[in-house]
Amino acid sequence: MNDEFYMRLALQMAESASGQTSINPVVGCVLVKDGRIVGLGAHLKRGEGHAEANALRMAGEEAEGATAYVTLEPCSHYRKLTPPCSDRLIDAKVARVVIAALDPNPQVSGSGAAKLREAGIEVTVGLLEQQSRLMNEAFNKYIVTRQPYVTLKSASTLDGKVAARTGDSRWISGPSSREAVHTMRHRHDGIMVGIGTLLADNPELTTRLSVPALHPIRIIVDSNLRIPLDARVVTDKISPTIVLTTAGASLGKRDALLKAGIEVIECGEGPHVDLAVAMRLLGEREIASILLEGGGRLNGAMLESGLVDKITLFIAPKLIGGGAAAPSAFEFAGFDKMADAIVLEDVSYEQHGDDIAIVGYPSNRFKP
């Protein structure tokens, strides 16, 4: 029962809301007084109460003299009609604030902690900082660049194939891996595939778990607008669909998609979608995180362009063979020397049934 114990509880509360806060960070707050937890709070939805406000509301008058454990620096600026969380803590007369990580926004970083100290409140910063930063890695990029954080997910066999030479890919990975992927969908604002994947599988690109979950915005990369008007992502209306295309794509097809309620975004002159432009335009639409479930060419193009921030590769204990006829997870021109290869950094491993997931960060990614 020490500072770390209570901060881990705050982190657990924040983690539970992952995927629910849109372009806002996930934050947890625990208020402790005389050895008792008197208030708990998490930020649950963009536009609604912050973690500190929710915890203070629960604590009421017992907040006076308490210690607040907060996973992210309390904000110091007004948001519409709501006062800053740092002011709320000061007004509640808390005695001490323990902060895991400072706000990554360079315009305000450190100002919340400074305001608390100026009010005579003891402030400690940096407890379990790395855990907090990992939890908000998408927010940390978006708040600095206004571009989405891209997680590339793929599933392959031991020999690196994402489908048999016939195109059959059901199922490479096991049930546990597939459930983990649906949790990833729940936690991302958007899910992106190429037109090849859509034409081959006609996927729904929704979240299917045993409990209600959030559906990501469907994003289709389609340079020539080959998407059928009867595709599920066009007709089902379960979640919005955006089609990324080029200036040279069919105007007639574009009009038909617009009438069907599909947003069409022009990204460059062609012949291919300018992916860097696409990320900027999606960021302007406040899509802060994208789960990329593309085929080899889209994966390769995104990776080669330095637009992938994280990779989760599920590897199943299967061998399918097929040579060049069986597609791979990444297809791009590549490098002449092994020393020039893109390296995964900070690698970790997860077990999902009989499958192994390799998680890491490409060395050519954006680094704030």
Q: Which residues are catalytic?
A: 52
Residue ranges with strand state E in 195-315 = 217-221, 241-245, 263-266, 289-292, 310-315
Q: Among residues 17, 93, 90, which one has the least CA distance to residue 51?
A: 17
**In contact, 155 and 316? CB cutoff 8 Å:** yes
Q: In what order do the strands lie in the sheet with 344-352?
A: 263-266, 241-245, 217-221, 190-194, 289-292, 149-156, 310-315, 355-362, 344-352
Radius of gyration of the chain from Cα atoms? 23
Distance from C-alpha of 176 to C-alpha of 71, rounded to nearest angstrom: 30
What the block records as the tokens of 194 is 């190429």
Q: Among residues 362, 326, 344, which one has the least CA distance to residue 158?
A: 326
